[in-house]
Chain A
Amino acid sequence: MIELRDVSKTVMSGSEPLTILHPLSIQIPHGEFVAIVGPSGSGKSTLLGLIAGLDAPSSGSVLIDDVDITKLGEDELAKLRGEKVGFVFQFFHLIPSLTAYENVAVPMEIAGVADARPRAERLLEEVGLTGRAHHYPSQLSGGEQQRVALARALANNPKIVLADEPTGNLDTANGRHIMDLLRTIHAGRGTTLVLVTHDAELAAMADARLVLRDGRVVESTLPLHPPVAATPTTASMADARVRPHEAS
């Protein structure tokens, strides 16, 4: 389970402090598919970064499986990410000097997995890239690159997959392909999936939704603390869980 307790983020904008995320507490149960929605600059990616321990909050704490990750050092955080969190970015962020296969194998090698090769090949097969394993990112299309990134995110069989606008840089067909893959993964592996998007159609596929504006939660179907004032909370958790199945 992911739990955020009074988490906020303030950065310095020039000499002025700028709060990009106001204090927020949420819980994301294991196996949940949550969409974080909002316009640009609303704090979506910041929130995702805090959940992954890529960034430290200005206040509050982030717990993953009851471990307060804000108390961990850089190296422990890296280890935690390597074991429990898979990441998919809008701009893919593949390592340009490595082939598709090598990009997928890297997280396993970091974690010291012995049989990285067959697993990396299986993952590439899962995302439909068997024949492209030895191509460099520059030789792949955007959709193919994102599929490699997806395979890489699953390399260590993480409990949590965080996706930051994974379709934002793709055409419609490729975007749909990626979303299908993400949903299959979520459904098939029981992975917690946190998706940042400003595409309402994609958000509608999620079990739960968190809407941010100017660093504040304006709508949520997740258990919140404190509760969002004047938020048209309509669906219960149980309802939310049913939705994707209806959609598919």
Chain B
Amino acid sequence: MMFVLRMAVRETRASLRRLFFFFICIAVGVAAIVALRSVIQSVRGVFGSEAKSLIAADVLISTNREWTPDARATIDRRLADAGMAERTETIETPTMVRPADRAKVVAKMTELRAVQPRFPLYGSIELQGSQTYSPALLAGHGVLVRPELLTAIDVAVGDQIVIGQAAFTIRGVIVREPGRGMGEFSLGPRVIIAYGDLPSTGLLGFGSRARRAMLVKMPEERVEPLVKLLREDFKDDFINTRSFRSTEDQVGRDFDRAENYLSLVGLIIVILGGIAVSSVTRVFILQKIRSIAVLKCLGARSGQIIAVYILQVMTLGLAGSLLGVAMARGVLASIPWMLGSSTSILAQAHYGVSWSASIQGIAIGVLVSLLFSVVPLLHVRFIKPSLLLRDESVRRARDWAGMAVIAVVSLALVALTAWQAASFKVGIVVCLGFAGLAVVLHLAGRALVALIAPMANSRSFPLRHAVLHLSRPGNQTRVILLAVGLGAFFIVGVRSLQASLLDEFSLQVAANAPDMFLLDIQKGQADGVRAFLGDPAHGAGDYQLIPVLRARVVGVAGSETNLEGADEVRQKGASIGREFTITYRDHLEQNERVIQGAFWNSPAADAEVSVEKMIADRARLHVGDTMRFDVLGRIISARVTSIRDVEWRESRNGGFVFVFRPGVLDQAPQTFVTPLKGPEGLAARARFQHDLVERFPNVSIIDFHEVLDTIRDVMSKVTLAITVVGGLVLFSGGLILIGAVAMTKFQRVYEAAVFKTLGANTRTIARMLLLEYGVLGSLAGLIGSLGAIGLTWGVSRYALEIPWRLFAGEHIGGVLLTALLVAVIGVVSSLDVLRNKPLATLRAE
């Protein structure tokens, strides 16, 4: 045992420099795992400690209709039974806000929340500066706003803004408010007013999209029974009940998932490091053959020698992992500095490396080093001491023990991945996926190396030898192609995907397509809006007022599907359980095509409905079926008379799942939406919105250019995140490359010495190196690029359902940059090959 320990220490000391880079790869991967896990655990801590403020109550009962007296009575009774301690109500609605100062011609979509004095029951509304929230701030038409609104419509605290038909004075700026989730999609910044002031805005008219909520504080142990009872009471109504605990569970699950999936990214980097370790161990053992034979000659057993090297690898793996934890600490320490004075909930967390994350990271680093080095180390068993007397190649018989070890190592890797992803299935899928990707990259690498093999007959001496070097014995071509190719694949792939998506969105906002959307136009306002839009002074392009109603399917009597009641529809009705926005018209839109049955062209007294194909397929609806709809409390039975195929990509005018035949719904209460081509130019668009809202205060306007900006912003963040991951992988690839060069340098130094003796000058040898690494880099880039083409094609076609486009620029740039990167790293880390004097080298041999 002492021998094993001492030898391990000595060997580590001797090979530290050569093996260093490979364990940096392990360090980078471990750092990624530890940092990601710790960050998520820290953020989760914030949420965990404020579970109740996630919904600002113990129980939240909400609806997007008005509370009916029956519903209120039921709730009152249930709450009294459950021993409710306190309750408060809020109403949320999206609406336009504009400055009271008429000189400022802007308007902005916001999310208004009207609150009663007791709000919030848990947590608190935090305001900018040293201001503390009290309901008095809202009294007499006071309003609290998010900082974004101040800049968007150029107002300040103390100024007045107009919401609907009423003016409000800005009394404070919201930093944080309970009950507002992180990363939730929102139509605009939050605005808070007093509950009592809401009616004065006139926003609660028919068809408004207000969401009413009752927040309840009550003894914890009675929460779940109450939620159960209320859900049962309102199973056929548009009323939802949830508790802080179900929210916490949901958030907890989201965090678990995020933590586990993100740490897989780190694991992939570690595994890449592992592959490098495996490859380097193979070369290392080849270089150590004589020393191993000597040790055997001196009486060491194979087991002892393998133990020496395993101990060495684990020591380096441990060192790399500890370095990784230190790197993670550094990254985490810089987070508060990066967030600066951000008001996001992220800034609230205390970032530090958690023990559990560190231990996991270290365990993974050491385990991966071990698993990946065991198989090449088994080669030690076949090294015979007799090779010291006679040069002989090491012969290998069929090695059952070796195969058994490979099987055990593979299983251990699956187990490791499953542990990280906290799912056996994900573990298997990721391992198979990674193995598949590695095999594909490997095969692609071999194919490309074979493809350029004829260049070995080139007339150019440097090129000839550069190509030959790629397949020299003990070459690291495959592992470099894998690591660098994978990095290039990530980066080029995600960048093309981003370009593809942005292109798609930009196309949609192009030319004469509608780029603004008006919502909530009341029936009585329809003519006024038409007149406003028709007035050339306002600069609007084509427009169309579409009547819309909200409806829910409450029954189906069909040839395949039979559902009775809203509850059954919700539970068994595949995709028809939700609430739909419906319309009626006598014509098909350009993006629609009837594929079954016939579309009407005139009104009729009996209700008929046309169903969109995808929904019809999923819910197994057919022409001739009868569907029952609840339209604002009125039940309408409609016969399905056609199935339509809708081209959703051009759905601005006709994106409806259910279209009714005119005649039945015409007189029902309804509102209108209007897709239109807005005026050109920022100022004109702002004025247009301002003027429209001034005349019709309850009308909301969605500007697609703003939405596109938001999407662009979100996508660039996602792209940045994936690019960072790809960058890390590429960085590891670079390290592996440096390590591989260092590992095989002895061979190069010798060859260079021979070439120099035979008359090659330093420039020729430099050209040779440059070409070798340039070719290697181009191959890696090409592999990454081909992979990226496959990825974008698959994702575009099957996940995003957008047409696939090739962004040649991204690919060419990717290949060239990878080639350049590899060439520079390769040549720079080989500089001493050029500098060495041939005689000294040859004498040493």
Question: Which 3 pairs, one residue from A and one from B, show the smallest C-beta to C-beta distance?
Answer: A82-B299, A97-B14, A109-B3
Asked if B455 CB lies within 8 Å of chain A CBs, one says no
Asked if A95 CB lies within 8 Å of chain B CBs, one says yes
7 contacts between A and B (CB under 8 A): A78-B301, A80-B299, A82-B300, A95-B294, A95-B295, A96-B14, A96-B291
Q: Contact at A109–B6, with CB atoms within 8 Å?
A: yes
Q: Contact at B384–A55, with CB atoms within 8 Å?
A: yes
Number of interface residues of B (CB under 8 A): 30
Q: Contact at A83–B389, with CB atoms within 8 Å?
A: no
Chain B 1-21 against A: per-residue CB contact (8 Å), 1 yes, 0 no? 011001100110111000000
Q: How far is the CA of A98 from the CA of B2 in the complex (A)?
A: 16
Chain B 285-311 against A: per-residue CB contact (8 Å), 1 yes, 0 no? 000001101111111111110000000
Asked if A164 CB lies within 8 Å of chain B CBs, one says yes
Asked if B812 CB lies within 8 Å of chain A CBs, one says no
**Which secondary structure dominates chain A's binding surface?**
helix
- Shortest C-beta distance, B378 to chain A (Å), equals 14
Extra contacts, 20 of them, besides A95-B291, A97-B15 (Cβ < 8 A), are A46-B389, A49-B390, A52-B297, A54-B388, A55-B384, A55-B389, A75-B301, A75-B302, A78-B301, A81-B299, A87-B298, A89-B388, A95-B295, A97-B10, A97-B11, A106-B3, A106-B298, A109-B6, A110-B299, A112-B3
Chain A 152-170 against B: per-residue CB contact (8 Å), 1 yes, 0 no? 1001100000001000000
Q: Answer whether A110 and B10 are a contact pair too, CB < 8 Å, given A54-B384, A164-B389.
A: no
A residues neighboring B (CB under 8 Å): 45-46, 48-49, 52, 54-55, 74-75, 78-83, 87, 89, 93-98, 102, 106-107, 109-112, 138, 152, 155-156, 164
Q: Contact at A49–B389, with CB atoms within 8 Å?
A: yes
By a CB distance below 8 angstroms, the chain B residues around A89 are: 388-389
By a CB distance below 8 angstroms, the chain B residues around A87 are: 297-298
Asked if B117 CB lies within 8 Å of chain A CBs, one says no
Q: How far is the CA of A90 from the CA of B386 in the complex (A)?
A: 14
By a CB distance below 8 angstroms, the chain B residues around A156 are: 299
- Shortest C-beta distance, A38 to chain B (Å), equals 14
Q: Contact at A107–B294, with CB atoms within 8 Å?
A: no
By a CB distance below 8 angstroms, the chain A residues around B2 are: 109, 112
By a CB distance below 8 angstroms, the chain B residues around A83 are: 299
By a CB distance below 8 angstroms, the chain B residues around A45 are: 389-390
Q: Contact at A110–B291, with CB atoms within 8 Å?
A: no
- Shortest C-beta distance, A64 to chain B (Å), equals 14
By a CB distance below 8 angstroms, the chain A residues around B389 are: 45-46, 48-49, 54-55, 89, 164
Asked if B188 CB lies within 8 Å of chain A CBs, one says no
Partner of A79, one of B293, B301, B388: B301
Q: How far is the CA of A110 from the CA of B844 in the complex (A)?
A: 30
Asked if B624 CB lies within 8 Å of chain A CBs, one says no
Q: How far is the CA of A82 from the CA of B302 in the complex (A)?
A: 13
Partner of A75, one of B13, B303, B385: B303
Q: How far is the CA of A55 from the CA of B385 in the complex (A)?
A: 8
Q: Answer whether A82 and B11 are a contact pair too, CB < 8 Å, given A109-B2, A164-B389.
A: no
- Shortest C-beta distance, A113 to chain B (Å), equals 9
- Shortest C-beta distance, A118 to chain B (Å), equals 16
By a CB distance below 8 angstroms, the chain B residues around A95 are: 291, 294-295
Q: How far is the CA of A80 from the CA of B300 in the complex (A)?
A: 10
Segment 21-67 of B: residues with Cβ below 8 Å from A: none
By a CB distance below 8 angstroms, the chain B residues around A109 are: 2-3, 6-7
Q: Answer whether A81 and B7 are a contact pair too, CB < 8 Å, given A49-B386, A49-B389, A75-B303.
A: no
Q: Contact at B298–A82, with CB atoms within 8 Å?
A: yes
Closest to A111 in B: B299
Q: How far is the CA of A82 from the CA of B295 in the complex (A)?
A: 10
By a CB distance below 8 angstroms, the chain B residues around A46 are: 389-390
Q: How far is the CA of A89 from the CA of B844 in the complex (A)?
A: 18
Chain B 388-410 against A: per-residue CB contact (8 Å), 1 yes, 0 no? 11100000000000000000000
Q: Contact at A74–B301, with CB atoms within 8 Å?
A: yes
- Shortest C-beta distance, B12 to chain A (Å), equals 10
By a CB distance below 8 angstroms, the chain B residues around A75 are: 301-303
Partner of A81, one of B6, B297, B390: B297
Q: Contact at B386–A107, with CB atoms within 8 Å?
A: no
Q: How far is the CA of A152 from the CA of B301 in the complex (A)?
A: 18
- Shortest C-beta distance, B368 to chain A (Å), equals 25
Q: How far is the CA of A82 from the CA of B384 in the complex (A)?
A: 15
By a CB distance below 8 angstroms, the chain A residues around B844 are: 138
Q: Contact at A78–B296, with CB atoms within 8 Å?
A: yes
By a CB distance below 8 angstroms, the chain A residues around B14 are: 96-98
Q: How far is the CA of A154 from the CA of B6 in the complex (A)?
A: 20
By a CB distance below 8 angstroms, the chain A residues around B385 are: 54, 81
Q: Contact at A93–B3, with CB atoms within 8 Å?
A: no
Q: How far is the CA of A92 from the CA of B144 in the complex (A)?
A: 86
By a CB distance below 8 angstroms, the chain A residues around B3 are: 106, 109-110, 112
By a CB distance below 8 angstroms, the chain B residues around A94 are: 294
Q: Contact at B386–A79, with CB atoms within 8 Å?
A: no
Q: Contact at B300–A78, with CB atoms within 8 Å?
A: yes
Q: Contact at B10–A102, with CB atoms within 8 Å?
A: yes
By a CB distance below 8 angstroms, the chain A residues around B386 are: 49, 54-55
Closest to A20 in B: B390
Q: How far is the CA of A93 from the CA of B387 in the complex (A)?
A: 11
- Shortest C-beta distance, B659 to chain A (Å), equals 80
Q: Contact at A110–B295, with CB atoms within 8 Å?
A: yes
- Shortest C-beta distance, A133 to chain B (Å), equals 14
Closest to A96 in B: B291
Q: How far is the CA of A46 from the CA of B294 in the complex (A)?
A: 16
Q: Which of A89, A97, A102, A138 has the most CB atoms of chain B within a 10 A radius of its CB?
A: A97
Q: How far is the CA of A129 from the CA of B296 in the complex (A)?
A: 25
Closest to B15 in A: A97
Q: Contact at B290–A93, with CB atoms within 8 Å?
A: yes
By a CB distance below 8 angstroms, the chain B residues around A110 are: 3, 295, 298-300, 304
Q: Which of B14, B298, B390 has the most CB atoms of chain A within a 10 A radius of its CB?
A: B298
- Shortest C-beta distance, B15 to chain A (Å), equals 7
- Shortest C-beta distance, B137 to chain A (Å), equals 75
Q: Contact at B390–A79, with CB atoms within 8 Å?
A: no
Q: How far is the CA of A98 from the CA of B384 in the complex (A)?
A: 21
Q: How far is the CA of A10 from the CA of B304 in the complex (A)?
A: 31
Q: Contact at B7–A106, with CB atoms within 8 Å?
A: yes
Q: Contact at B299–A78, with CB atoms within 8 Å?
A: yes
Closest to B11 in A: A97
- Shortest C-beta distance, A84 to chain B (Å), equals 9
Q: How far is the CA of A111 from the CA of B384 in the complex (A)?
A: 19
By a CB distance below 8 angstroms, the chain B residues around A54 are: 297, 384-386, 388-389
- Shortest C-beta distance, B18 to chain A (Å), equals 11
- Shortest C-beta distance, B290 to chain A (Å), equals 6
Q: How far is the CA of A54 from the CA of B385 in the complex (A)?
A: 6
- Shortest C-beta distance, A139 to chain B (Å), equals 12
- Shortest C-beta distance, A219 to chain B (Å), equals 22
- Shortest C-beta distance, A137 to chain B (Å), equals 11
Closest to B292 in A: A95
- Shortest C-beta distance, A150 to chain B (Å), equals 13
Q: How far is the CA of A81 from the CA of B388 in the complex (A)?
A: 15
Q: Answer whether A93 and B10 are a contact pair too, CB < 8 Å, given A45-B390, A78-B299.
A: no
- Shortest C-beta distance, B395 to chain A (Å), equals 10
Chain B 259-303 against A: per-residue CB contact (8 Å), 1 yes, 0 no? 000000000000000000000000000000011011111111111
Q: How far is the CA of A45 from the CA of B298 in the complex (A)?
A: 17
Q: Contact at B388–A107, with CB atoms within 8 Å?
A: no
Q: How far is the CA of A102 from the CA of B11 in the complex (A)?
A: 11
Q: How far is the CA of A111 from the CA of B2 in the complex (A)?
A: 10
Q: How far is the CA of A52 from the CA of B385 in the complex (A)?
A: 10
Q: Contact at B298–A81, with CB atoms within 8 Å?
A: yes
Q: Contact at B298–A107, with CB atoms within 8 Å?
A: yes
Q: How far is the CA of A80 from the CA of B385 in the complex (A)?
A: 14
Q: How far is the CA of A108 from the CA of B297 in the complex (A)?
A: 13
Q: How far is the CA of A111 from the CA of B298 in the complex (A)?
A: 9
Q: How far is the CA of A111 from the CA of B300 in the complex (A)?
A: 8
Q: How far is the CA of A115 from the CA of B290 in the complex (A)?
A: 27
Q: How far is the CA of A96 from the CA of B288 in the complex (A)?
A: 10
By a CB distance below 8 angstroms, the chain B residues around A164 are: 389
Q: How far is the CA of A97 from the CA of B291 in the complex (A)?
A: 9
